[in-house]
Every structure is written in C-alpha cells, then in structure tokens.
Chains A and B, each alone.
Chain A
Amino acid sequence: MISVASSRREQASRVLQQHGALMVLALLVIVGSLAFDSFATAGNAASVVVSSSFLAIIAIGMTFVIISGGIDLSVGSLFVLGGVLAAYGSQYGLLMALALPLGACGVVGLLQGLVIARTGMAPFIVTLAGLLGVRGLMLAISQEGATTYLVKNPAFASLGQGELLGLTYPVYITAALALVAMVLLQRTGFGQNVYAIGGNEQAAALMGVPVARTKVTVYVMSALLAGLAGALNAARLSSGVTILGIGLELDAIAAVVIGGTLLTGGAGGITGTVAGVLLLGVIQSLINQVGNLTSAFQQVVSGAFLALVVVAQRLLSKAQRLS
C-alpha cells in the first residue's frame, strides 16, 4: 500500500508560492505609502487600478494561453486593431463598435489557433507573424496610421469613461472577466483540459482531451480579450489611437509569469496574474512618485525590479520543493 499525505508546511509553502506576487504587491504598497504622501491616495490608487485594467484583460487571456503551454505575441497588435476598429465601428452605433473589433480579433485568434493546433508550428512563431500581420492590417485600415477615427457614439464612450464609486466601468468589466476566468479555469472541464495539455500534451491527448479544440479556443479567447481591451480603451480615449500596443505582449507575459504561472505550461492561475498586473502598475506609479528620474534610470529600475521579483518567486518555489 502506498500512503502519502501532504504536510501542513508543504501546503503552506505551496500557497506562498502561488500568492508570491500578491505578497510582494502588499509589501510594495506598504513601502510606497510610507515613503510618499501622495501614493496611498484614492486618486492615485484609482489611476493605478483603472490603467491596469486593460493590461489585466489581456493578461487574463494570456494566462489561458500560457497555461496551455503556448504563448501569444499578437495581443499588442490585436489591442490596437481592436481600438481602431471599435472607433471606426462606433460611427454605426454601439453594437458595431463592439462587434467589429471582437469579430475581427476573433477571426485572427481562430486562424492562429487553427494553424498552431493543426500544423504543430510553434506558437511563438505563429503569433509573431500575427503580431506583424495584424499591425500591418491596422496600418492599412488607418491609412498607414495617419487616420485616427474618433468615437462619437456617447453610449460606447461611456462604456470606457462612465464611473461608479470613483472607478471607471472597465475596472468592473475586468473584475467580472477575472471571476469568470477563474471559474472557467478551476471549475470546468475546459479549464481542466487547458491545464492538462499544458502539463503534458501527449498524455492529455491519450486521456481523451480534445487537444486541437482546446488550443483553438484558448487562442480565440486571448484574441477576443485583447480586442475587447482595445475597444474599451478606445472608448476611454474616445478615439482609435494607432500608436498603441507596442511591446504590450511582453508586459502581459511578464505580468502572467510574475503571477506565478509557469511559462512551460500546466500550472498557474488568474489571481496571480491580476496581482502581477497590479504589481507592474504599482512599480510604475512608485517611479512616477519619485518624480525626477530620467527615462534611462526608470528603465534600469524597472528591469531590476522585474529581475528581483522573478528571483524571489523562484526562490520561494524552490523552498517549497525542498521542504
């Protein structure tokens, strides 16, 4: 007979690793509040939360992709495409303002997913091509980026600008999406399939997981969420700005990984990702609080922070395995 139970300590350190980002976040907030008077104000907190919400939406989609063992580099381009199409579509009403970007981004996600699932090409390369192609598409429909479509539809604009209790609607939308994503990931067969193919694709296939369908779904979701984030952002900015989203995919990946999701797939979660996004936002806010760092120093500090956070994460998880 084999009998192996988990010790309480083991469970505790597992929790520790999963919520490492959350704890670093709490630490930073405390330090920031002590160091700067204007840091722990409602206004500043709101600005961090509001501006993080768009990255969070993208990162939620990215979490699914990464847990499934893939990666999606096209989200930055999809974000800007979504914004431009939403602004363009808003001329024809609220419905078009949402349907157009979601439709287009969904199709891109579907294509990427199909190529990845059916040909076995590396997601990195397929979505890298997506990054290029989608940005090209965006440039084509905005006359090489020269045309900025403006959002004239008040209903759509309010989707991005309307406020409730000092926070704009996108924050609530993000929160709702995060909750849905959590349930999806932890409590549905689809979520289990995502973990399974990320953990061991071959085994998952042998266990009867519909690998191709799950992969396609994951990339469609990621693209839809990126498009939605773009559309909401366009509503917030009242225009389809064309110079957005460069390097956004790296931010999203960084947030997901800081949140404790393994890039190799098979493990991770939404809470960590949300914490990771907020962590990036808070770091930026702290840099702004200092108020006089040159741009170059800001980069050094961000890079150092990122390194610090991942090393801390890593050591925490090592400690877990040793105990």
Chain B
Amino acid sequence: MTELTSKPAFRTDLKPRIFAWVQDYGVYAAVLALLLFNVLFTPHFLDASNFRTQFVQVTPIVIVSLGMALVIGTQGIDLSVGSVMALAAALVALYLGYGALPALIVAVIGGAVVGAAGGALVAYVGVQPIVATLALLVGVRGIANVLVPQLVEFRNPDLIALGSSSVTGIPVIVLIAAALTLIVLFVVRRTTFGRQVVAIGGNRSASELSGLPVKRVLLIVYVISGLLAALAGVLATARLQASDPTSLGLFIELSAITAVVVGGTPLTGGRIRVLSTVMGALLMQLLAATLIKHNLPQSWTQMVQAVIILAAVYATRERANR
C-alpha cells in the first residue's frame, strides 16, 4: 500500500509473467490447441452434432468434478463418487414406478446420505479421506448391486426426455451441468461457505481457532459431492435409457480428480478453481474423443493420455520459489 512507494521499483520481467499466465490459463490453451488439431486433422469435427456429442458425454464428469473440486479444496478426496452414481442408478430403477421426479429425488437423497457417511467419517471420526471414501467405493457399489443386480431398461418417457431432449438446440443435461457450474462458482467465489471451505483446506487448525465450523463445513462438502455424483448418475442413467449399477461410474473418480488437478486446483487444498476444472474435464473429453476418432489402439490411447495429463499438470503446477 503506502509502503509500496518506498520500495525500489522492480523490473517487469516477462518470463515470470508468462509462467504465471500459463499456470492460470494453461488448461484453456491446451483445450484450444487440441481443438485446433482436430479442426485440421479430424473429419467432420466442426459439425454442430460433434460439439453436442462432446458436451453431452462430458456432463457426468463435469458434475462429479465440481463436487470433487470442493472436496479437494478442503485437502480431501472423494473416491466414492463412481459408486454413488451406481447407487443413484439403482435407486432410480427401484423408484421409477412413482414417476421420474420422485425417483430422482430418492436417488439424490441416497447420494447425500453416502456423502454424509463419508463426511462424518472424515470430519467427526477423523479417518483419512482417501480411506474413508475407499471403503465407501467398495461398499456402496456392493449395495447398488444388491439393490439392482443387473442392468434394467426403462421406458419412463420423462426420464428418457431428460436424457435426450434439447432446449433451443442445447441438450437439457448440458444446460443442467452449466447451471450447476455457475452455482458452484458462485458458492466458491461469493459465499461465506466457499471461503470457509478454502480456508479449512489451507490450514485446518487456524480455521478452527478462527471460529469456523470446520466439522460441519467438511460434512457439507462431502454431502455436496455425494449429491452431485448422484445427480450425475441420474443424468447418465437417463441418457443410457437403462439403469446399470454394475458399470456406471467405474473409475470416474480418477477422471474427476484428473480434471480438477489438470485445471490447476492443487491436491494439497486451500484453493479451488471451478471454471478451470470444467476446462480440465473438457480437455480430457476432447482428448478421449480425438483418440477414438483417429482409431488409435487402446495401448496408444492410454500412453498419450498419460503424457497429456503430465504436460497439462506440469504447466499449471505451483512453481517453487528458487
């Protein structure tokens, strides 16, 4: 402030500023680069239907990643999201007889309950997040499979419409994901709760001494993650036109974590970048699409993904002060 003026003026170095820019906007640049590649080398890439496909496919990951970003912001991690999606699928199948909306509500409540269980283990019992949610990862998918042991097709027109209809050309589920993104963005940037989440991730004991309701905030964060995962499960189910608790959401936790980290949110907590997380998810989706469209064998696909993840995270990493 006032003291600043007495400081010796500093040179405006270009290099660190480029670094800082890449760190903040690296994902955007990577997405652009991949888009450019596709425009040049992938046939039919610029069709509207293509973008529609990519957006539709990425929605579950985006929604799950939003919750994951909050959890990671508290220095936690939620491995149970995939199983929560499966549970949601199972609950939808079980309660669809009452109609689409009641089924959706039950599914989302189910997700919240799992989130609360994980959150309670983390916040009140003090179990490490990765183990607490690992137990849920195993157990909740089991429960989902006990409830609905195999894929069940459904005909409920409302639910099918949720998965396949569009408003002004934009698929409903994409609109839902966009709305959720804005809500989470608002929560993180503008609400007390958002600040508290980040502070707890940055220094838990300082937050406790500052009177933050640390345990409650942690619990709520995991509940939100569960809610969002369940919602993602319902939307994926609606799109598949079948409830598949067996394979729905398998390994999605890894995709979501990757999206969050590629977006520049550090796993050490204390910081949340919402839009970049969405970009991270889009990057991974575009990458997968590119590899499929170019018909690369699985071996190549996985190796290329590994390299891109590393490169993207390298660009966005926090630089050590040396």
Contacts and interface: CB of A to CB of B under 8 A. Distances in A.
Q: Do chains A and B touch in the complex (CB under 8 A)?
A: yes
Given A136-B304, A306-B138, 16 more contacts: A122-B313, A125-B257, A126-B313, A128-B257, A128-B309, A129-B309, A130-B306, A136-B299, A136-B303, A137-B299, A250-B137, A296-B145, A299-B138, A301-B142, A310-B128, A314-B125
A306 B135 contact: yes
A125 B298 contact: no
Interface string B182-224: 0000000000000000000000000000000000000000000
A257 B149 contact: no
A297 interface: yes
Interface string B279-322: 00000000000000000011111111111011001100111100
Interface stretch (B30-38, B42-50, B168-176, B261-269): B261-269
A112 B319 CA distance: 18
Interface stretch (A35-43, A113-121, A156-164): A113-121
A121 B132 contact: no
A80 to B, nearest CB: 12
A307 interface: yes
Contacts of A131: 306
Contacts of B139: 299-300, 302-304, 306-307
A135 B136 CA distance: 26
A250 B141 CA distance: 15
A140 interface: yes
Which bucket holds chain B's interface residue count?
A: 35 or more
Given A124-B267, A125-B267, A294 B138 contact: no
Contacts of A128: 254, 257-258, 309
B159 to A, nearest CB: 24
A295 interface: yes
B299 A300 contact: no
Contact of B125 (A120, A250, A262, A311): A311
Most chain B beta-carbon contacts within 10 A, residue among A120, A125, A264: A125
B127 interface: yes
A169 B304 CA distance: 38
Given A254-B131, A299-B138, A122 B310 contact: no
B275 interface: no
B138 A119 contact: no
A61 to B, nearest CB: 18
A307 B122 CA distance: 11
A241 interface: no
A104 interface: no
Most chain A beta-carbon contacts within 10 A, residue among B121, B141, B299, B300: B299
A2 to B, nearest CB: 23
Nearest to B117: A307
Interface in A24-38: none
Main secondary structure of the interface of A (DSSP, over half): helix
B157 interface: no
Interface string B117-156: 0000100011110111011111111111110010000000
A306 B134 contact: yes
Contacts of A140: 297, 299-300, 303
B258 A139 contact: no
Contacts of B134: 250, 253-254, 306
A77 to B, nearest CB: 9
Contact of A303 (B127, B142, B310): B142
A136 B309 contact: no
Which bucket holds chain A's interface residue count?
A: 35 or more
A115 B314 CA distance: 9
Most chain A beta-carbon contacts within 10 A, residue among B138, B257, B307: B138
Contacts of B121: 307, 310-311
A213 interface: no
Nearest to A256: B131
A133 interface: yes
A250 B79 CA distance: 10
A299 B145 contact: yes
Given A257-B128, A300-B146, A314-B127, A307 B302 contact: no
A288 interface: no
A167 B28 CA distance: 56
A182 to B, nearest CB: 23
B128 A296 contact: no
A132 B313 contact: no
A301 B297 CA distance: 37
Contact of A144 (B125, B128, B266, B299): B299
Given A254-B134, A306-B134, A314-B125, A119 B314 contact: yes
Interface string B84-97: 00000000000000
Contact of B310 (A115, A298, A307): A115
B306 A129 contact: yes
Contacts of A253: 130-131, 134
B205 to A, nearest CB: 14
Contact of B302 (A135, A296, A314, A318): A135
Interface string A276-314: 000000000000000000111111111110110011001
